[in-house]
Amino acid sequence: MYRKRNEDVVNELGSNVQSGLSSQEVEIRREKYGKNALEEHKKETLLVKFLKSFADVLIIILLVAAVISLIVDPHEWVDSLVIFIVVMLNAILGVVQESKAEKSLEALKKMSSPECKVIRNGVTDKIPSEDLVVGDIILIEAGDFIPADARLIDAVNLQVDESALTGESVPVTKMTDVIDGDAAALGDRKNMVFSSTFVTNGRGKAVVTDTGMKTEIGKIAGMLGAQKAEPTPLQNKLDQVGKVIGIISIFICVVVFALDYFALGAELIESFKLAVSLAVAAIPEGLATVVTIVLAIGVRKMVAENAIVKKLPAVETLGCTSIVCSDKTGTLTQNKMTVLEIYDNGKLKLLSDITEENHQLINYFSICCDAKIEMVDGVEKRIGDPTETALVELNNKYGSDVSWAERVGEIPFDSDRKLMTVVIKKDGKFISITKGAPDVLLKRLSKSSKVEGVNEAIENMSSRALRVLALGIKVFDKMPEVTLDLEQDVEFLGLVGMIDPPRPEVLEAIKVAKHAGVRTIMITGDNIITATAIANELGIMGEGQRAVSSDELDSMSDEELRNRIEEFSVYARVAPKDKVRIVEAWQSKGKVVAMTGDGVNDSPALKKADIGCAMGITGTDVSKEAADMILTDDNFTTIIKAVKQGRGIYANIRKCVKYLLSSNIGEVLVILLAELIAALNILPLHVPLAGIHLLWINLVTDSLPAFGLGMEKPEDSVMFEKPRPKDENFFAQKLGLHIGLEGVVVGALTLTSYIVGFQLYGHAVASTMAFVTLAFTQLFHSYNVKSEKSVFTKQAFNNRFLNLAFIVGAIMQLAVVYIPGLNTIFQSVMLSLPQIAIAIGSAFAIVIVMEIYKLIVRLIYKNK
């Protein structure tokens, strides 16, 4: 449409510039084109989310074991019921948390559809923007959002901020002329306006050419459907843990079944029940629930830190982020042009050096503007071009009142002239004030103008990526004729230099990120000079790194970009497809990539990235839909806080897995070794632990301290560690070895307690002693797992949740032994003082063993 004359476009669309469309025609077109709204991503129903919670190896094995146990012996239904309850609880927790996140996101959306002005049936009316159809004639002015893609029919000083679509922070001056060329870029289609952009200056009339998903914003939204959501690293690692445990548990069940049935001659059903008990022992029933709750706690902490996480595992994924691809405008910068320096009376001055002698220059710059800054209900509202609002703000803060200025004539800004002129009346004189591009204005100065040092000042400011404006005046005794001659032979008055400044907190956030091994990459629609200057100021550009433009990027193949990706820290003038390529190139290097942004143009990359972080205030609905996390304060530092939180959560999850699996290994070893001892005729031992014992340990005395471990605060030291590799095994850094060794200790102490009890008091007492020993071993062991430091320090007991879990766990364990009725259900007997002393004493031995082990490790590390 931009290649056609506007009257031809109106005729082609069957509309009328004066009267617009008729009501009948609107209804016909609404049936044909549908609503002017983006298609929402189809959300999963609660039932689907609930059912997907069961798609886990451990859950499936556990459910199969419960069903088989129920079929083999329907009378012993308690174990199966407990398993079903735990599985259901875990599923419900996950669904509830996701639903909460979705509700939080809904709250961020606008309460009502924005309205627009349209001509219909010859009358101008206001309607919801979603009711627009192709062919509608719309009226737009400063402050309005553009409701659909449209071809301009009329434009008066019209400027549009298209940063949400193109990433370019400087408004685009619009016109109605035909644009030649078959493939003009969006930013060059100056006779078109696009949905979700907004008018900063002037007014216009346009005919709607596309609505809904056919608009440019709609096309980008449609690209999101092609992006496949990848599982997070935590999901992959927990799947890995589940598969390992699943394979091991099945193998052990088969071995024990064969040993019991063939070697010991037990009955088939009894051997089968024993194998099922072992499956229960091998699988940490509380693991999924503990991980879900630990992540949910992390999510709640993130809400307090101004971030809404849409899916639980996304919190942890941020913890292993190594690359943050950040949009510049509004994310690293304030998205608000700000004057930094002025040049007046031959001197370049910072704002802090401004004096009264500079008021005239600042006043005149402010007067030669169409923008204004108002307070509406206590909130500052800026109307007009950001460049001009910056000049108004400069005068409000450092100038003087200009309400006396009576504008009696004007020549509007024109992108070809690059100048704007106003005429004011002052003290009986008439003054024309001209502002604009320095290279244009300096060619129009009077011979009496003092220009010595001006070019040097312009070069100085331009080299630091400041946008420079010049100002000149002419004084008349009587009202001059308002023609372009006013812009000739002007007297030079001064310059201002402005920029979209970085957010003040971002510099420190990027420093923290560097310490944490996280590299920040700037991606922007701005020019390469401005982008480089901001990047250098923020410390983004490192040694040997450079900026690259979209044109240079387009000339590279995907393979070349992958090979050179580490060379670039800044990408300028980029398009949406460039952002996706950049993310993919980093991911090909095995990096975990986070992408921040607020515009529609960021959305495909937000979804492609491992973690998409959208802005909650300035972000579009499309970007929020594509993201994994919403930053409700639009603050870059929130991402770094999330990285720290994520690393802490991952460390806590590893502690939980280490703690729970060591217990499960201990349980399996107790039963397996007891069977071997009996098979070898060393001692006529029975099965030391009943199925209900194993479920109780796994669900209560194990899970409570695990929750406490999950509440550990992230240590500051986590931000001085390098990010974990994306493909790092969950059991890396000898975690698997530690789990195995600690499991052996747990098993050995429990079996020792059982054998002592069996020899002295018989199987019933021995089984209860083993039950108590296993429970208290885990309670004591939680403090060993909490920290690599000794438990005999003040820091060992600074987690009140863990302390409470220990006390509650101990009380509950003693309750199922000593309360009549409960001990019948749990197949335990009341222990005498010597018996309970042996059981708890055996359990405390794990603290002594682990203290010796930690001491040895510290000595080895010290020697290295």
Give the residue numbers annotated as catalytic, written as ranges.
327
Burial class (CB in 10 A: 0-12, 13-18, 19+), 45: exposed
List C-alpha distances in Å: 416 to 142, 151, 188, 432, 711.
21, 21, 14, 20, 63
**641 φ/ψ sector (left φ>0, alpha ψ -120 to 50, else beta):** alpha
Instruction: Return d(Cα 292, Cα 238) in angstroms, integer.
Output: 11
Structure tokens at 339: 């004057």
Q: Where are the alpha helices (DSSP H) in 141-182?
A: 163-166
User: Are the C-beta atoms of residues 836 and 772 closer than 8 Å to each other?
Assistant: yes
Structure tokens at 336: 């608000």
Rg, the chain, Cα only = 35
Residues 6+ apart with CB under 8 A from 115: 126, 127, 128, 129
Fill in the amino acid letter for 181.
G
Q: Give the dihedral of Cα atoms 721, 725, 728, 732; nearest 10 deg.
A: -20
Structure tokens at 816: 């199922």
Give the burial string for 495-529 (b: 16+ CB within 10 Å, else e).
Answer: bbbbbbebbeebeebbebbeebebbbbbbbbbebe
Instruction: Give the strands of the sheet with 568-572, arranged side by side.
Output: 307-309, 629-631, 611-615, 593-597, 323-327, 519-523, 568-572, 546-549
Instruction: Return d(Cα 495, Cα 393) in angstroms, integer.
Output: 16
Element holding 514 (H helix, E strand): helix 506-515
Return the number of other C-beta atoms located less than 10 Å from residue 863's C-beta: 6
Counts for the chain of helices (H) and strands (E), in that order: 30, 24
Structure tokens at 711: 């509440």
Q: What SS3 state is found at 161?
A: strand
User: Are the C-beta atoms of residues 165 and 188 closer than 8 Å to each other?
Assistant: no
Return the number of other C-beta atoms located less than 10 Å from residue 638's C-beta: 23
Instruction: Return d(Cα 35, Cα 23) in angstroms, integer.
Output: 15
User: Are the C-beta atoms of residues 570 and 554 closer than 8 Å to each other?
Assistant: no
Element holding 624 (H helix, E strand): helix 621-626
Instruction: Return d(Cα 86, Cα 284) in angstroms, integer.
Output: 11
User: Are the C-beta atoms of residues 223 and 161 closer than 8 Å to each other?
Assistant: no
Sign of the Cα torsion 325, 331, 333, 338 reads positive
User: Are the C-beta atoms of residues 568 and 585 closer than 8 Å to each other?
Assistant: no
User: Are the C-beta atoms of residues 429 and 477 closer than 8 Å to each other?
Assistant: yes
Element holding 425 (H helix, E strand): strand 419-426
User: Are the C-beta atoms of residues 173 and 413 closer than 8 Å to each other?
Assistant: yes
Residues 6+ apart with CB under 8 A from 500: 169, 329, 333, 334, 335, 336, 337, 338, 386, 526, 530, 534
Q: What SS3 state is found at 643?
A: helix
User: Are the C-beta atoms of residues 152 and 192 closer than 8 Å to each other?
Assistant: yes
Q: DSSP assignment, residue 333?
A: B
Sign of the Cα torsion 12, 179, 176, 139 reads positive
